[in-house]
Amino acid sequence: MRIKAGFEIVYQCSQPTPMLLVLSPHPSRLPDLETPHHIRFDPPIVATEYRDNFGNLGHRIVAPAGCLTLATEFVVRDAGAPDPVVANAVQYGIEELPDEALVFLLGSRYCETERLSDLAWSLFGGTPPGWERVQTICDYVHDRITFGYEYADPTRTAFTGHGERRGVCRDFAHLAVTLCRCMNIPARYCTGYLGDIGVPPADAPMDFSAWFEVYLGGQWHTFDARHNTPRIGRILMAHGRDATDVAMVTSFGPCRLAGFTVVTEEVRPRLAGAE
């Protein structure tokens, strides 16, 4: 399968404003690109590439005063298979976990484990550890939160999302990540592209998506509490402790988002003889 993905994002700045961008495909997906991936800037500016502590690919820029457009479009190869389900994946004891997984057991800005630990153990302490426990957490979060773009709130945490019972995909991911960590399962927040491939198209503009990964059976596995079903065509951009680590744009000064368009769709092969 071939997938076309990209974006056009417009910012209006009142003064030169430093920014960190996390808008590139994750390094693990770069070998799958069929076309070069470059972020275009209008007007042209200098962008310095870097890798963060989680291995994500980012860029440092200084947005000029006025209007700045960021855009890209690329084609990526994908296996076209749904997210794998590994029902026998086991949960390791904390003493067995690799060092790099330990940070994903800890509370973070949007994932307050200390506020949800008692709830998590009361709800999931009797479930079989491993894949079934994570899926039970996904089921709970999926049923607990009502999705709606109008419910977006960049300050909402896992704890407040649980109480308000509404949110967007990042809120589903934050709550599921937090509950997994409370149950001693390393969990990390993920962001990227997820088109309506293999499912009925949503009646809403395309956006970036958030899901999460857990460490079971010696590797990381994908879960999605919002959709709560294996999906086709995820393109990972970044993973971290929560949305703070993988924010698409972090600005260090006042600016206004003036335009936002995301595209991700399957490139269907042309029929023989088609013009």
Residue 153's pLDDT is 96
Q: Residue 110 — pLDDT band, cuts 50, 70, 90?
A: very high
Residue 203's pLDDT is 80
**Sequence-ordered list of residues with C-beta below 8 angstroms from that of 223, at least 6 positions apart, any chain:** 83, 134, 135, 138, 176, 211, 212, 213, 214
**Sequence-ordered list of residues with C-beta below 8 angstroms from that of 172, at least 6 positions apart, any chain:** 141, 142, 145, 147, 210, 224, 225, 226
Q: What is the pTM of this model?
A: 0.95
Output the average pLDDT for the chain. Answer: 96
Query: What is the pLDDT averaged over residues 6-14?
Result: 97
Q: Which two tokens stand for residue 163?
A: 């109480």
Q: Residue 272 — pLDDT band, cuts 50, 70, 90?
A: low
Structural contact between residues 176 and 242, judged by C-beta atoms closer than 8 angstroms: no
pLDDT digits (tens, 9 = 90+) for 225-250: 999 999 999 999 999 999 999 999 99
CATH node for 94-240: 3.10.620.30
Q: Where in the chain is the domain with CATH 2.60.40.2250?
A: 2-79+248-266
Which CATH number, 3.40.50.1100, 2.60.120.10, 2.60.40.2250, 1.20.1250.20, labels domain 2-79+248-266?
A: 2.60.40.2250
Q: Where in the chain is the domain with CATH 3.10.620.30?
A: 94-240
Residue 37's pLDDT is 86
pLDDT digits (tens, 9 = 90+) for 160-204: 999 999 999 999 999 999 999 999 999 999 999 999 999 988 888
How many whole angstroms separate alpha carbon 109 and alpha carbon 123?
23
Share of the chain above pLDDT 70, in %: 98
Structural contact between residues 250 and 20, judged by C-beta atoms closer than 8 angstroms: yes
How many whole angstroms separate alpha carbon 234 and alpha carbon 56?
16
- C-alpha distances (whole Å) from 244 to each of 156, 188, 204, 238 are 12, 12, 25, 11
Structural contact between residues 57 and 100, judged by C-beta atoms closer than 8 angstroms: no
Q: Residue 48 — pLDDT band, cuts 50, 70, 90?
A: very high
Which H or E element spans position 164? helix 158-164
- C-alpha distances (whole Å) from 166 to each of 160, 162, 172, 192 are 9, 8, 9, 21
